[in-house]
Amino acid sequence: MFFEDGKQIPDTISGGIKKAEIQERLNKMISSEEVEAIKSRQKHSFSEYDVAILGGGPAGLTAGMYLGQAKLKTVLIDPALPGGYMGITHQVSNYPGYVEPQPGFMLAHYMSEQAKQTGIDFKVAVDVTSVDLAKKEIVIDEFETIKARKIIIATGTSLPATPNTLWIKMLPLSEAEIQPWKKHSLSPNLPGK
C-alpha cells in the first residue's frame, strides 16, 4: 500500500495480482514522462519449451504433472492462480482419491504443489496478450514470448453471467474464438472440420 498525505493511494489489490495491475497503479503515481522512460527500458524476453499448457485448473495441472515426470520442459500459463474454479469452490465432493468432501482451495494447493515438484515452470496471474497456434507462440504481459513445440489448451470452464444459475458453460471458447485456429488443427473432432 502507498500513502500520500496520510491517505492511501491508489486502491488495494489482492489475490493473484497481475503485472498489469501493478503497472497501472504505479503509472498513476508518477509522471507520464517517467512512465514512458520506464517502458522504453523494458526488454522483450523469449523462451522455448517442449510444451506450453494454457490453463492452470485440474486438467492443466494434471497434464503438467505428467509432462514434468516425463522430463519435458513445460510451462503452465494461467491468467489467475493455479486451481481454476476448483480453487474458489467451497467444497468438492466425489473427487478421485478423497472419500469426504474437500475444501476446493486445498485441492488446488495440493495439485499445484505436486505439479511444481515435477519441475515445470509456472506463469500465473499474467495477461495472455496473444496466442498464435500456427506459430506455436504465446505472448504474455506484452513483453514475453513463449514458443512451444506443442500447446495444450486446458482452459476449463467459465461461470455464467448470472451467479444464481447452477449450470456451468462447458466450452469456454465461442465459435468466433475457435474459428481462427480451426484450420490449423489436425483434430477431426473440432466443429466444422
Mean pLDDT of 164-183: 45
For residues 151 and 138, what is the distance between their CA atoms, to the nearest angstrom? 9
Specify the pairing of strand 102-103 against strand 91-92: antiparallel
pLDDT of residue 166: 37
Separation between Cα atoms, residue 18 and residue 20, nearest integer Å: 5
pLDDT in tens, 53-94: 999 999 999 999 999 999 999 999 998 889 988 888 889 988
* DSSP 8-state class, residue 86: G
**CB distance 154 to 55 below 8 Å:** yes
Stronger pLDDT, 172 or 154, i.e. the higher one: 154
Query: How is the chain split into domains, by residue range?
Result: 45-155
Cell numbers linked to 140:
504474455
Structure confidence by residue, pLDDT tens digits, 54-63: 999 999 999 9
Q: Considering only CA atoms, which of 166, 90, 81, 140 is closest in space to residue 116?
A: 81
Query: pLDDT tens digit string along 102-130?
Result: 999 999 999 999 999 999 999 998 999 99
* CATH class of the 45-155 domain in this structure: alpha beta
Sequence-ordered list of residues with C-beta below 8 angstroms from that of 47, at least 6 positions apart, any chain: 75, 144, 145, 146, 147
**What pLDDT score was predicted for residue 165?**
38
pLDDT of 137 > 50? The answer is yes
Residue spans of beta strands (DSSP E) within 2-143: 2-4, 7-9, 45-54, 74-78, 91-92, 102-103, 121-124, 128-132, 137-140
Note the pLDDT of residue 160.
53
pLDDT score at 81: 87
pLDDT higher at 74 or 27:
74
pTM, entire model: 0.73
